[in-house]
Chain A
Amino acid sequence: MKQLVCISKTPETTTQIKLSGDSSQLDVAGINYILNPYDEWYALVRAIELKEQIGGTVTVVNVGDASNDVVIRKALAIGADDAIRIDQTPDSALSVAKAIAATVSSDGYDIVYCGKESIDYNGSQVGSMLSELLDVPFVPQAVNMTVEGSTATIQRDIEGGTETISVNTPFLISAAKGLAEQRIPNMRGIMMSKKKPLNVVSQDISDSSTTVTKYTLPAGKGSIKMIDADNMDELVRLLQEEAKVL
């Protein structure tokens, strides 16, 4: 089984978001970056499990500059065999998907994984776009997958439950919580990751159909109203008359 996992770099989950002077830019100074949790915990680990079970290879691919090599090495330490970094500044989901498609479309991957979403721009778009560009079926929000021969049985989240889907390779899935259990890289993995191939390729694809014109911070909550534990009638009244949510 030849597997590809698309990995992205996101700010660490406790990061406070700040804007630079004119509000049109994010202030990225001092942000600590991690591998996107959906890519690391679920997509990558499920791919490695499958490789351990039935053999084959796991390649990771990232679109970004050399500063991403740290998170790419982490993916190698967790157990990916090799990595491709497409040296291009991602300017939208479409340019990321196009760059990946242009690089891997003729490589014959059986299963391509994305995360359910990147926790920075929360787009959930790259997987859907990439599946179209690669002309393969796409199963979003997968929470469980078993593979027999070239057929996968996948459970995915839908509103109020799950749906079970059967699909033949090649296909693309996006990984949600439950697909696998997080793995912490061990010392041997970390040592080996340094020797594993990280191939840098270049693409020059840009997308002008969307641009972010402004960033704003959400309006903070007004001051909180504290209510006495013995006065729940008052809370219900406020929810009805002031907040108007009941």
Chain B
Amino acid sequence: MVLVFVEHNNGTFKKAALEAVTYAKMTADTLGTDCKALVFGTAEEASELGKYGVSSVLSLSSDHLAHYDSQAYAAAVANVAKASGASVVVLNNNSTGVGITGRIAVKLDAGCASGVNSLPVKTDNGITVEKNIFSGKAISTINLTSPVSVISVTGNTIQPEVVGSPCSVESISADVPAPRTQVISQDKQQGTVAPLPEAELVVSAGRGMKGPENWGIIEALADALGATTACSRPVADTGWRPHHEHVGQTGVAIRPNLYIAAGISGAIQHLAGVNSSKCIVVINKDPEAPFFKAADYGICADLFDVVPKLTEAIKKAKA
């Protein structure tokens, strides 16, 4: 059995969570077994996960799971995996997964692959999965041979796929230790666009913008697309843009469907965080800018001229 740990926000599931479910379902198909989902608390939409291929949803309620705590969460997932005889545990490689993937693996004595971006392939002695290493400069194929494996999946690896119909939801219990951390508050950006790690469309700009006062044209382009904004490191370091927008080797690593970069030279450390994007558009006035070598489409011109024109063209196409 493949067990997928699915996070929900007040009862509803984000796209990334559904991606993990589809990943788990496809893994189960490869292994010739079934797939169950584990959710914490009661999620209104829980039975909907059946549409993405799980045979049932296990709903675990405990006061100890009210807030994220890596010890309590990992123990809960591991205990359910043990009790249900799971051979593979799947979870998202996000801010939740990063705290518990390793803990679950230790608890289950399981082989562990984190940040995986390919579906598993069955081998003689287990399964293999692929992941990016050296910030996307190489790919490693990892063979997991232990009786139980833990896999955390990178966002945008596969798209959620409806393959079935709503399923049953079963309340279960499991031992969950009391959390030893307390969540005091959460501070989330307002607005409707997806946060950078989950964004499918990203508009990014660099030092070529000359100053923070010029960012209006980037925001207008992002608005027209429904995209999330990002920036290069020097831009965040000098305070032109907030730190959470910094992408690259030392910032956020992203893999959106579309990455538009204006006034960014394309230094190797910047590329390291964005080179897994499906499609890259580069706007730079320097024909020698290294970013052109990593791009699908390029416009060699002044960004202050190009960006507003692109915004207009997108508005026109959408109208």
B41 within 8 A of A: no
- Given known contacts A140-B95, A225-B298, A245-B279, A165 and B184 CB-to-CB distance under 8 angstroms: yes
Residues of chain B in range 273-294 having any CB-CB distance to chain A below 8 Å: 275-276, 278-281, 292-294
A158 engages B310 (CB within 8 Å): no
> In angstroms, how far is the closest chain B Cβ from the Cβ of A143?
8
Stretch at the interface among B42-50, B57-65, B112-120, B166-174: B112-120
Q: Which of B74, B109, B134, B246 has the most CB of A within 10 A?
A: B134
- Chain B residues lying within 8 Å of A125, measured Cβ to Cβ, are 101-102, 105, 112, 114
Query: How many chain-A residues does the 8 Å CB contact rule pick out?
Result: 84
DSSP majority for the B interface?
A: mixed
- Given known contacts A128-B102, A160-B195, A243-B279, A210 and B181 CB-to-CB distance under 8 angstroms: no
Nearest-CB residue, chain B, relative to A121: B133
A89 within 8 A of B: no
State A140–B68 Cα separation when bound (angstroms).
11
Residues of chain A in range 173-193 having any CB-CB distance to chain B below 8 Å: 174, 177-178
A146 within 8 A of B: no
A17 within 8 A of B: yes
B33 within 8 A of A: no
Nearest-CB residue, chain B, relative to A16: B137
Q: Map CB proximity to B onto A35-50 as digits: 1 under 8 Å, 0 otherwise.
A: 0011000000000000
Q: Map CB proximity to B onto A139-174 as digits: 1 under 8 Å, 0 otherwise.
A: 111010000000001001111111111111001001
- Chain A residues lying within 8 Å of B113, measured Cβ to Cβ, are 210
Stretch at the interface among B22-30, B80-88, B140-148, B209-217: B140-148
Q: Map CB proximity to A onto B243-255 as digits: 1 under 8 Å, 0 otherwise.
A: 1101001110100
State A159–B189 Cα separation when bound (angstroms).
10
> In angstroms, how far is the closest chain B Cβ from the Cβ of A25?
11
Nearest-CB residue, chain A, relative to B134: A17
- Chain B residues lying within 8 Å of A93, measured Cβ to Cβ, are 102, 112
A128 engages B98 (CB within 8 Å): yes
A245 engages B278 (CB within 8 Å): yes
B143 engages A232 (CB within 8 Å): no
A227 engages B106 (CB within 8 Å): no
B95 engages A168 (CB within 8 Å): no
A29 within 8 A of B: no
B295 engages A132 (CB within 8 Å): no
B278 engages A167 (CB within 8 Å): no
A195 within 8 A of B: no
State A162–B185 Cα separation when bound (angstroms).
9
B107 within 8 A of A: yes
- Given known contacts A224-B296, A226-B298, A229-B309, A159 and B94 CB-to-CB distance under 8 angstroms: yes
Residues of chain B in range 298-319 having any CB-CB distance to chain A below 8 Å: 298-302, 305-306, 309-310, 312-314, 316-317
B268 within 8 A of A: yes
State A238–B297 Cα separation when bound (angstroms).
9
State A209–B70 Cα separation when bound (angstroms).
23
B70 engages A230 (CB within 8 Å): no
> In angstroms, how far is the closest chain A Cβ from the Cβ of B58?
22
Choose one: A16, A212, A221, A228; the contact of B140 (CB below 8 Å): A212
- Chain B residues lying within 8 Å of A178, measured Cβ to Cβ, are 243
State A232–B315 Cα separation when bound (angstroms).
11
- Given known contacts A166-B182, A213-B142, A227 and B297 CB-to-CB distance under 8 angstroms: yes
Given contacts A214-B140, A227-B299, A233-B317, 20 further A-B contacts (CB under 8 A): A93-B102, A126-B102, A129-B105, A132-B103, A137-B181, A140-B70, A140-B98, A160-B196, A161-B195, A178-B243, A213-B143, A215-B139, A217-B139, A218-B136, A218-B138, A224-B298, A229-B306, A229-B309, A232-B313, A235-B281
* 10 cross-chain pairs, A with B, having the tightest CB-CB distances, nearest first: A160-B195, A128-B102, A209-B111, A161-B188, A229-B301, A129-B102, A232-B313, A209-B146, A132-B103, A214-B141
Please give the residue numbers on chain B whose beta carbons come within 8 Å of chain A beta carbons, in ascending order. 68-71, 74, 93-95, 98-103, 105-107, 109-115, 128, 131-146, 179-189, 194-198, 201, 225, 243-244, 246, 249-251, 253, 257-258, 268-269, 272, 275-276, 278-281, 292-302, 305-306, 309-310, 312-314, 316-317
